[in-house]
Chain A
């Protein structure tokens, strides 16, 4: 059956009218903050208390945008007759965000959980040199790092929790076994 003449015109009118009744997609950004998805890559925060200056992040960075300076300090022996230990102290940790390509390799590679993604994105500058942010600024951004999102229902347990649970269970069974053995000993005259 051929289409009714003018049905295409009516369809066009229906489309625009339907669109008008829907909510518009405009984001009123400066007035209304955007709702960012979890794990948003806004800026990289540094939890410097965890940093051991292992330099893995700086070496893995494809853009070479991480600058780290450090020196060694000697810690006196903890117990009398012990050996002195040496420790790395962080002097400078800076990320040049004009070079950074937000690949997140530094965060992936950090073995001590010292680097995190923060959803903060409003750090535009008028001079490109001001985009190199030092450790104090990076530490401040740590406060904006959100909690890790909850696991999917039915997901595998995180490794550290699984290990902790296993250890606790082992300890519990050992304690129960010891108690049972003690009771058995008491029962015997």
Chain B
């Protein structure tokens, strides 16, 4: 009985985090983007500096009619948003935010494998949406998503493998237990590759060709309305949280920090995640969208070789210090 309660409580907390953090990131994006463009952003909803803008947006989306195109593959079309969103919830369960047993939803022994595999499933939602919509723009968007997934999953895996090699384990808490501060400069190239590849997998600008609104309307999400569309958007922000959390855990030492008491490791994790989320928004505001071929070139001629070089470096250092 106690075990069941424990599991239920953990899942509830993870679910709450899953609902709240993406909204916080989204609101931050509204505000940061506005100020980087010399604007104020939302100011009315909720009274104080538009804090409830995304809640209002959610209410609006919920009121809209849920349209399924006549020629669409109905079942697949309706299922796609859930497939896009749920994997991030699953990943969140495995990310440790503190050193104690209670600071992780569920300790998964093959944590890195689990996390990367499940994150790949999220992209499947876009593919399903693109194929099932019976719309040429959706199909183009879906195909671009597929190409992007193929190109960027590889460097992401290689960069994560480098950390696993360094730590000698594929468990996420295991990686953090083995962490030393000099891992940050040692793995910095891998961190950059992982972060950039993650951005591309989330289809965040400057890697948002699959939804390039000036070229293919909104890519795979063109035909979506109402709540299902909102779920796709939520998936993007949940993806930011998960990517930043994973980068923190794998490369930036998670709960380790220069100061702070033992019980406050989770503050470090959240702080690092928040800074990375800010960087994600910052990059979106700053850079224009890459062209489709530039995207492929970046992945295959830059990120993959860099990731391989990082693995070589990790191997050499690992052998040298043993």
Chain A residues in contact with chain B, CB under 8 A?
9, 12-13, 15-17, 19-20, 22, 24-26, 28
B282 touches A17 (CB 8 A): yes
- 8 inter-chain pairs at a CB distance below 8 angstroms, sorted by A residue, are A20-B35, A24-B38, A24-B40, A25-B38, A25-B39, A26-B38, A26-B39, A28-B43
**Residue from A13, A20, A25, A28 having most chain B Cβ neighbours under 10 A:** A20
Q: Which 9 A-B pairs have the closest CB atoms?
A: A26-B40, A16-B36, A20-B35, A20-B36, A12-B286, A16-B286, A24-B38, A25-B38, A16-B285
CB of B182 within 8 Å of the partner chain: no
The distance in angstroms between the C-alpha atoms of A48 and B36, with both chains bound, is: 51
The residue of chain B having its C-beta at the shortest distance from the C-beta of A23 within the complex is B38
The residue of chain B having its C-beta at the shortest distance from the C-beta of A31 within the complex is B43
The distance in angstroms between the C-alpha atoms of A22 and B34, with both chains bound, is: 12
**Cross-chain contact of B38 among A9, A12, A22, A28 (Cβ < 8 A):** A22
Contact residues in A for B35 (Cβ distance below 8 Å):
19-20, 24
CB of B157 within 8 Å of the partner chain: no
CB of B37 within 8 Å of the partner chain: yes
**Cross-chain contact of B286 among A13, A25, A26, A28 (Cβ < 8 A):** A13
Contact residues in B for A20 (Cβ distance below 8 Å):
32, 35-36
The residue of chain B having its C-beta at the shortest distance from the C-beta of A10 within the complex is B286
The distance in angstroms between the C-alpha atoms of A12 and B34, with both chains bound, is: 16
CB of B48 within 8 Å of the partner chain: no
Contact residues in A for B36 (Cβ distance below 8 Å):
16-17, 19-20
Taken residue by residue from 29 to 69, chain B's Cβ proximity to chain A (1 for < 8 Å, 0 otherwise) reads as 00010111111100100000000000000000000000000
The distance in angstroms between the C-alpha atoms of A102 and B200, with both chains bound, is: 54
**Cross-chain contact of B282 among A13, A24, A25, A26 (Cβ < 8 A):** A13
B287 touches A24 (CB 8 A): no
Which residues of chain B from 144 to 163 have any CB-CB distance to chain A below 8 Å in the complex?
none
The distance in angstroms between the C-alpha atoms of A19 and B282, with both chains bound, is: 12
The residue of chain A having its C-beta at the shortest distance from the C-beta of B35 within the complex is A20
**Cross-chain contact of A28 among B40, B282, B287 (Cβ < 8 A):** B40
Chain B nearest Cβ from A17, distance in angstroms: 7
Contact residues in B for A28 (Cβ distance below 8 Å):
40, 43
A24 touches B285 (CB 8 A): no
What 15 additional pairs, Cβ within 8 angstroms, besides A19-B38, A28-B40?
Answer: A13-B282, A15-B286, A16-B36, A17-B36, A17-B282, A19-B36, A20-B36, A22-B38, A24-B35, A24-B38, A24-B40, A25-B38, A25-B39, A26-B38, A28-B43
Contact residues in B for A19 (Cβ distance below 8 Å):
35-38
Contact residues in B for A9 (Cβ distance below 8 Å):
287
The distance in angstroms between the C-alpha atoms of A20 and B286, with both chains bound, is: 12
Which residues of chain B from 265 to 318 have any CB-CB distance to chain A below 8 Å in the complex?
282-283, 285-287
Contact residues in A for B39 (Cβ distance below 8 Å):
24-26
Contact residues in B for A24 (Cβ distance below 8 Å):
34-35, 38-40
The residue of chain B having its C-beta at the shortest distance from the C-beta of A11 within the complex is B286
Chain B nearest Cβ from A125, distance in angstroms: 26
Contact residues in B for A17 (Cβ distance below 8 Å):
36, 282
The distance in angstroms between the C-alpha atoms of A16 and B36, with both chains bound, is: 5
The distance in angstroms between the C-alpha atoms of A17 and B278, with both chains bound, is: 11
Chain A nearest Cβ from B25, distance in angstroms: 17
Contact residues in B for A16 (Cβ distance below 8 Å):
36, 282, 285-286
The residue of chain B having its C-beta at the shortest distance from the C-beta of A22 within the complex is B38
